[in-house]
Amino acid sequence: MLDNFNWGGNDDGGNAVATDGESDDEHERLKQSARGKVAGELAKSKKLTPLRRKQYRQAAGNVIEHMSPHALELWHDNFAGINFYPTAEEVNEVAKALKRQAEQDVDSNAFTAAFVDKGGKAHLNGGSDLGDDTERTIRQYYAHEFGHIVDRGGEFSNNPEWQAAWHKEGGDIARAMGKEGSEGPAEGFAHVAMLAWMFRPLAERHFKQCLGFFTQEGLV
Ligand SMILES: [Zn+2]
């Protein structure tokens, strides 16, 4: 259930089972209650088809399954709701409308497929602007945005230790991400959160120091 991850010195290989039954129960409770919040928000999103609803529930549930107890605690503490939309295009329209409301410049070339707004509410999509709508793609978006929820207020991304790690290892990917703000430590944090939770071998290969920060903070 924690995918090859050794947390708490219990190194019994790929089937790692926590030895402490109580903290195991607590982790399960945190996951269950997170899945409950997602289900509650999905029920409010009336425009979703049953298939979409199921796809979103599975994608979010999959990310939750990979988050550490502490990451989930923070996710709960910072949770301010999730708006689910049938498509990424609709999320993009909402993002632009919020920018106009805040009298910020709206770049017509920018596309926002998913985001967390200033109040901490997540706006989640149905895939990407590339027309790639698989559950796997949706999961990547959700993991990234859940990273922002965990980091709400720059709790971690403002930490100089994080910034040094991201500065050192994030250069190439930041350039590849290429969009406005993508190179910043907060976007970097969400990106590494996605990798650390969902694609651990990639994080280990390309973001050793960043992953070290996640480990030190109990986020993986
Ligand atoms: Zn982001």
Q: How far is the CA of 15 from the centre of ligand 1 (A)?
A: 32
5 lies in some domain: no
Mean pLDDT of 38-44: 97
pLDDT at 146: 98
169 lies in some domain: yes
3 lies in some domain: no
Q: How far is the CA of 145 from the centre of ligand 1 (A)?
A: 6
Q: How far is the CA of 141 from the centre of ligand 1 (A)?
A: 9
Query: Which tokens is 201 given?
Result: 């071998």
Where do the DSSP E strands lie in the chain?
A: 82-84, 115-116, 122-124
CB contact set of 34 (below 8 Å; sequence gap of 6+): 64, 67, 72, 75, 76
Q: How far is the CA of 132 from the centre of ligand 1 (A)?
A: 18
pLDDT at 127: 72
Q: How far is the CA of 112 from the centre of ligand 1 (A)?
A: 9
Q: How far is the CA of 215 from the centre of ligand 1 (A)?
A: 21
Residues 113-135 have pLDDT tens digits of 899 999 999 999 877 655 566 77
Is 49 within 8 Å of 86 (Cβ atoms)? yes
Q: How far is the CA of 90 from the centre of ligand 1 (A)?
A: 17
Phi, psi of 169 (to 5 degrees): -105, -15
161 lies in some domain: yes
2 lies in some domain: no
Tell me how many domains the chain contains: 1
CA distances from 116 to 28, 133, 167, 206 (A): 25, 20, 23, 26
Residues 94-118 have pLDDT tens digits of 999 999 998 888 887 888 889 999 9
Q: How far apart are CA 220 and CA 218, in angstroms?
A: 6
Q: What CATH number is given to the structural domain containing 18?
A: 3.40.390
Q: Note down the domain range covering 163.
A: 13-216
Query: Which tokens is 103 given?
Result: 């009298």
116 lies in some domain: yes
Q: How far is the CA of 127 from the centre of ligand 1 (A)?
A: 14
